[in-house]
Structure 1
Amino acid sequence: MPPDPASTMLMSVQSPNKVLLMDASVGHMWQSVVSLTNVASAVEHAGQERALGAIFFTMQGFSTLALQDFVIHWVMCNSLLAEAEEFSDIAKNFRAREDFNSTLQTISKFRELVENNVTVSEWHFDQSDVAGWWLGNMTTFVDMLHTLQDEMATDVRIRTSSWSVRLRTTSVLSSVLLCFEFLFYPLFVFLTVRLLRSINDHSRELSKNLKILIQEQRRYAAFISEMYPASVAARLMKGQEVAPEIFETASVCFVEVADFDDLVRRIPGAIIVHFINDLFELIDAEASKHDVFKVETVGDQYVAVSGLPNRNGERHVTEIANLALGLLEKTRNLNMEHLPNRKIKLQIGISSGS
């Protein structure tokens, strides 16, 4: 038995539209347009098939070349309709109609006669009747395809109109947004520049306040270090609580200038202040040689202690006594330029106990 021409043509004929749809990511709009094009092409092939079939049934046979043309139009029509069904719900629903399937089944029987090139002697009906039946059924089939084509064209028009409306809406919105951008861009730039200036001013003010804070912290640290022992000052600077302590025994030394009130009356205040500063520096230098702690200076009075905050047993008495003796030695020849003949004397008091 010779090979089936229809099967051979189905394997050899490829539709460029299907390749395009398979290779490209297209939307429903493009699919509808391509499906409509497929149906229109299928109508043309069905018309050619109708004419060739009429010739076959009228002439009582086909040549091999005419048979190939018939099969090509038949296969192309079926292939294009199959592609249209794949990408269009309208074509798929139309294909499921009972009247369409009934007409297609009748045409398939005639196609088998042509495909097998049945001779006149094998026909069971008059060739003119068969030709009329073929033309009638093919005309009905072509009319149905025209109806499908009209429905799909209407769908494409609706989709095109909807797409056009959306496109116009998008264009209008884009134009409005562009106008807003041009209108508000200068204001945005102005506000941005103003904000940056405000941030810079705030940054400079913050930097200035930070420097002041650092200076105050240093001043506070110096004040704490001068007022308290190093161990106590360190705890205070860290914000830690300093618990009170009891010292069993310690020695305190009080130093002041004898007849200081008389000196104040005789000498200008600036000279007195300069003299007191020099005197206290001398006492500080002597105190640094002994295990003593400077408590405070008030006016012309200098207070030092030994035995606290660091306990040193009974040695505090010796340390304070040595400090007093050292001060007496250092100030033995102490005098002032404004009173060169007057010796400056210190009054020193020591107290030891608990």
Structure 2
Amino acid sequence: MPVVGTGRASASSVSMGNTLTREFLLLMQDSTSNRRKRFFKLLVVLAVPMAVLVLQCSVVIIKALHSKSEATRTTETITTTIQTATIVTRLQRERGMTSLFLSSHSPEAWKNVVNFRKSSDAGIAAVEHWPGNVNDGPALATRDAFRDTLVEHRIPQTSNHTSIEEVFWYTKLITGALKLMNRDIRLSGDVGGQLWTYLFAYESFVNAKECWGIQRALGSAYYGRGYHVPDEKKLFYEVYLKAQTFLSLCFDHSQRSRALYDSLVADKTYLLDYINAVRKTVLEVPNVTADAQTGLNWFGNMTTYIDLTSGIETDLTNTIQDQLAAQVATAQGELSEALTFLIIVSIVCPPLCVWYFLSVSRINRTIGKSAKALANQTTELSAEKRKGEKLLHRMLPPTIADALKRGENVSAEHFDSTTKISSRSTPLQVVELLNGLYTKFDSELDSHDVYKVETIGDAYMVVSGLPQRNGNAHGNEIATLSLELLKIVYDFKIPHLPTDRLKLRIGLHTGPVLAGVVGKKMPRYCLFGPTVADAATMEQSGLPLRVHISQTCKNLLDKLGGFECVKRARESADNLETTYWLLAKDGYKFRADAPELL
């Protein structure tokens, strides 16, 4: 017998207007105390939306305040980052000139060292909010600790330190400062919009400048000494590659920076050729003539190149500050709008509440006048009741319908002109058999989310998933019901044939259907579509006391889990290439392949 099809139903909602109408009708029928309660409910209907509106305004204001606070905090963080970048730039110059002095011991180089140290100290003193803390180490914890660490290390003019030692020490200190700066940049990246891309481009460019600064220091030492040591050569090559990588990252995240770089170096071909030639010499020529002036020239040209490209840093800084200013302005605008809206709500709501209260009071005074309307509605209700009875009489014979309304049992009747359906049973015995079996079936249906479509003779059609949708649960509902029905049939005794057993065939299929009410004289809720026919095919091509399921039904049960199925040993009909037997469900003792069933 065809069992399963799936369908879809639509949900309905009750509007606030219907709610108010219902409350008004109930209001006319209640006692005075109940009317007061219902007046209160009517007031709540208005008060709750207003309260929600005020709450939403408050939430918007809080979010706007938070956005403004975050934008302001980010602005302060970026300002500190820019000040830290200034320190890094000045320390890079101090490092390079110190390395050149230790390689050449040139008086002019020492004079420059002293000037660069003063510049570094001024940059440190200009930082308003130091970005470090105790977790960053003693040297980076505070601005004073950073300055003291630098001052204590600075070498005298008679120092015997090597240039590579100074390069490594300064690089370590500068790396710490870059760590603080880059950390603040990342913490400022969640403000929104395209700001984070400019912050990342800024960070990449500053790192590229650091690599150029190390090249400047190592190149100056190389010419001042006349040769390089392996560690310096290796480091020079590494920072050369890193500089190229960081510059590419900067350009990838800021196309305007790439365009600006091209314009800045467009007429500086001689400078780029000089720098590339020196880089090649440092990497390929082990020894050159020691010349402090050549080292100073390299230092000066690299400084010119770094200062020239610093226009990119300035442009990124201005862009970031402009975006931050725009975000602060946007947050301020949102805050102003929210405050304005809240003020309007605060002004409008009280008069509206007063008007609403007066309207409700007026309704109370007009209840007496509404008695006639209530009587009319009662009349209409009676008319609708008669329509319902008429519809019921169309579905069932009037005598049968009236007996069911009175709660009486409708006994089977003998009709002389009926068709013979079994040579071993009288008509009354057939009716008694089917009534007893279908009564048990109907009782079991109440325990599952299923709908009995129709009963025609010995065919019993059940569907899950309509009229009320239940997602994929219809597969579990109908499969479990099938096993329950088999168990009912197994336990069922035919009153007039106690030694015989009913042979129930069940077929399951899953798919879409079209459902609706058909007919006026005897309206029926009917299903249409291939799914109904496929379910019938599953039943007709099945075997007694077995649950025959299609491939789509098997797929759904596998997805749900908990069911045991086995592939049928032969090909089924109607182009359903592969079908299965449903055998059991986890946690359910009854099995459809039990020996006593076969």
* TM-score class, shorter: 0.3 to 0.5
Of the two structures, which has the highest relative contact order with CA contacts closer than 8 Å and spacing of 6 or more?
Answer: 2
Q: TM-score, normalised by structure 1?
A: 0.45
Of structures 1 and 2, the larger Rg is shown by 1
